Structure 1
Amino acid sequence: MGSLSAANAKFCLDFFKELRKVKINENIFFSPLSISAALSMVQLGARGNTAEEMEKVSFFPFPGNSGGAPSQFQELLVALGKAGATCSLSIANRLFGEETFQFLQVELEAVDFINAAEESRGKMNSWVEKQTGGKIKDLFPPGSIDSTTVLALVNAIHFKGVHGKSARNFKQDDPVVFIACFILPVFFFWLLFPLPYNGEELSMFILLPENICDESTGLEQLESAITYEKLAEWTNMENVYLQEITVYLPRFRMKESYELTAVLKALGMRDAFILEQADFSGISTEPGLFLSRVIHKSFVEINEEGTEAAAATGMIVFASSFHIPYEFRTDHPFLFLIKHNPSKNILFFGRCCSP
């Protein structure tokens, strides 16, 4: 699954750097894996220049309607399902298709978009809510589904993990305090701390700017410096060594909602959204299929017990080096991500500016 994790990480960083252009000094949280999985379902049916653009954005080639990507996603789904008793992690895909439309060997759940668009929207939203433990509601907002909708591709991911070691006796207004025993070296002007969940197959990594001067939080320099190669090195658990330190982490809770069409277009995926240019002949021989909207919703909450995170992505197809600290205090904005260590896939990525 190396090629999948690399593609996922590269897409994650490209997507984040595009999103930060419009979300200046704001919280950001999304699931690159959820978006990539939803993209992969659409990409399997893309042809011609539409497919080429999607491959450049996703960093993963999908030859025709078969190849390595679907099997790698399936292997990942199996691996993620082995999180253990102390961590629950699930990811699911579902295609909802208009019952009267002619699709090419696509496994989907038939719905009646033509005569019962609102009922179909409610059914899809209920599926997402169930798959995300009730954390993602109304993924498809009112008006997003109508009689011209022929296909909706949905991915949902839900994670709930208990931190490996934590102090539980503190006041409600105090930050979360961890006595942890894993640390990575300091990288130039920022610190990186991996916080493993019980079972240690999943970890949250916190990237904290070390030096703050004037009005700068250091995030701009950190975000500009991140590359795929650096992130792979920084989050490689083989570089971790044991050391007990005290970690102060604020409790925080985020709910984010994004319309991804503009971001994906900016990354280079344009034809898929243009009626006259989109080529989804791998989905159906019927002409005029194009992507109308791409929606992503996410949720994360971190407290003394652990972490709960969820995200869902819906795609609607229409027809026509410094000292090593002994105390790690996250009292200013930081980046964080949740990673599946065995497969090296980034499940969630975010920026915390205001807990």
Structure 2
Amino acid sequence: MGPREIPTMDALRLANSAFAVDLFKQLCENEPAGNVLFSPICLSTSLSLAQVGAKGDTANEIGQTDTKPVQMMSMEATLCMGNVDGINCKIIELPFQNKHLSMLILLPSDVEDESTGLEKVEQQLNSETLLQWTNPSTMANAKVKLSIPKFKVEKLVDPKASLENLGLKNIFNENTSDFSGMSETKGVALSNVIHRVCLEITEDGGDSIEVPGSRILQHKDEFNADHPFIYIIRHNKTRNIIFFGKFCSP
């Protein structure tokens, strides 16, 4: 047997993105008009360990402007922003205070009757388009008037059916599972996977950061997230997805 090939950082990032997008779309099918939130890197790490047999605030200060049940937060700052041609979708990056993480928001421009406005985005969404849409080279610094909801999402996800639909069936079947690295007993399998995740976005923060080499747009754009959107929290250096979600209602 030859030496084991070690995946490159690019390969790991692509695998993380592919798993995140595929699972996100599966979960959205189960909750087409509901909030969705999960941590792909947490799930993939846990499942990987099982298969081998092993045991925030944003970087800008945001002011509250509303006291309604859905509290909107607003700020004016220079932020990295882009547009996705063909599906009328805006993308904005909100860096967190520690500069290691950023939140990316995908906001559809058109909201039709009896729709969330996300249908076109979800149809076009895959691992390749996500990396393309959120690539820094396709975005530019812009002076933005930003409004986003203050929200807290807590989800208890049962992703077993979704994971099985993605091809991860062996680990749930005692006839096909292989946990020999963890137990000498044959027929050991996972009965279920329970994933609990909580995310809260607040108005406290610090200074904005700018992307080196990006052109500065002189006009002021508006980014008003007063309707459903997709959001991603990403590790900036590796571009790995830490959280993936859809916000539809408080």
After TM superposition, the score normalised by the length of structure 2 is: 0.83
Kept in 1: contact 2:39–2:244 (CA 8 A): yes
Aligned match of 1:278: 177
In structure 2, the residue matched to 1:342 is: 237
Which residue of structure 2 aligns with residue 37 of structure 1?
Answer: 45
Letter in 1 for 2:248: C
Structure 2 residue 94 is matched with structure 1 residue 195: yes
Q: Distance in 2 between matches of 1:21 and 1:29?
A: 13
Amino acid at match of 1:179: E
Q: Deviations over 1:279-320 (max 9, x none)?
A: 2223233212111111101111112125xxxxxxxxxxxxxx
SS at match of 2:114: coil
Q: 1:164 aligns with which of 59, 62, 68?
A: 59
Q: For 1:269, what is the secondary structure of its paired residue?
A: coil
Aligned-residue RMSD, C-alpha: 1.9
Q: Counterpart of 1:326 in structure 2: which amino acid?
A: D
- Pair 1:19 & 2:27 matched: yes
Number of the residue aligned with 2:249: 354
After TM superposition, give the deviation of residue 172 of structure 1 in Å: 4.1
CA distance in structure 1 between the aligned counterparts of 2:82 and 2:65, rounded to whole angstroms: 29
- The CA distance in 2 between the partners of 1:212 and 1:284, in whole Å, is 52
Q: Are 2:105 and 1:212 aligned?
A: no
Taking every aligned residue pair, what percent have the same amino acid on both sides? 36
Q: Give the 5 Å matches for 1:180-259.
A: 180-188=77-85, 189-259=88-158
Paired residue type of 1:226: L
Q: Which amino acid aligns with 2:238?
A: S
From 3, 12, 17, the equivalent of 1:4 is 12
Amino acid at match of 1:26: G
Shift of 1:261: 1.6
The answer to whether the Cα contact below 8 Å between 1:182 and 1:240 also exists between their aligned partners in 2 is no
Contact 1:166 1:180 in 2 (8 A): no
**Residues 111 and 117, structure 2, Cα contact 8 Å, conserved in 1:** yes
- SS state at 2:116 partner: coil
CA deviations over 1:124-157 (Å, ceiling 9, x no partner) = xxxxxxxxxxxxxxxxxxxxxxxxxxxxx5xxxx
| Cα distance in 2, alignment partners of residues 2 and 296 from structure 1 | 26
- Aligned equivalents of 1:293, 1:213: Cα separation in 2: 38
Query: What CA distance in whole angstroms lies between the structure 1 residues aligned with 2:98 and 2:177?
Result: 45
Instruction: Give 1:87's aligned residue.
Output: none
How many aligned positions are there? 225
Shift of 1:197: 1.3
Structure of larger gyration radius: 1
* Cα distance between partner residues in 1 of 2:142 and 2:158: 42
Whether contact under 8 Å (2:92, 2:106) holds in the other structure is yes
Amino acid at match of 2:236: N
CA distance in 1, matches of 2:203, 2:51: 40
Q: 1:13 to 1:175 in 2, by over 3 A?
A: same
Is 1:212–1:218's contact at 8 Å kept on the other side of the alignment? yes
8 Å Cα contact 1:166-1:177 kept in structure 2: no
State the alpha-carbon separation in 2 of the partners of residues 199 and 231 from structure 1: 24
Structure 2 CA distance for partners of 1:2 and 1:248, relative to 1, 3 Å = same
Separation in 2, partners of 1:277, 1:35: 21
Encode CA deviations 1:245-268: one digit per residue, 9 max, x unaligned.
110001111111111221111111
1:168 CA drift (Å): 3.0
Q: Looking at both structures, which has the greater relative contact order when contacts are Cα pairs under 8 Å and sequence separation is at least 6?
A: 2
Hey, what's the Cα distance between the residues in 2 that align with 1:191 and 1:32?
23
The AA in structure 1 aligned to 2:31 is: K
Shift of 1:199: 4.0
Listed one character per residue, the Cα deviations across residues 26-78 of structure 1 (whole Å, up to 9, x for unaligned) are 00001001101101101213xxxxxxxxxxxxxxxxxxxxxxxxxxxxxxxxx
Whether the 8 Å contact between 1:191 and 1:207 is mirrored in structure 2 is yes
How does the TM-score come out when normalised to structure 1? Answer: 0.60
Counterpart Cα distance in 2 of 1:17 and 1:234: 17
Distance 1:347 1:169, change over 3 A: closer
Residue segments in structure 2 that go unaligned for 5+ positions in a row: 1-8, 206-218
User: Are the counterparts in 1 of residues 107 and 225 from structure 2 also a CA contact under 8 Å?
Assistant: yes
Q: CA offset at residue 190 of structure 1?
A: 0.7
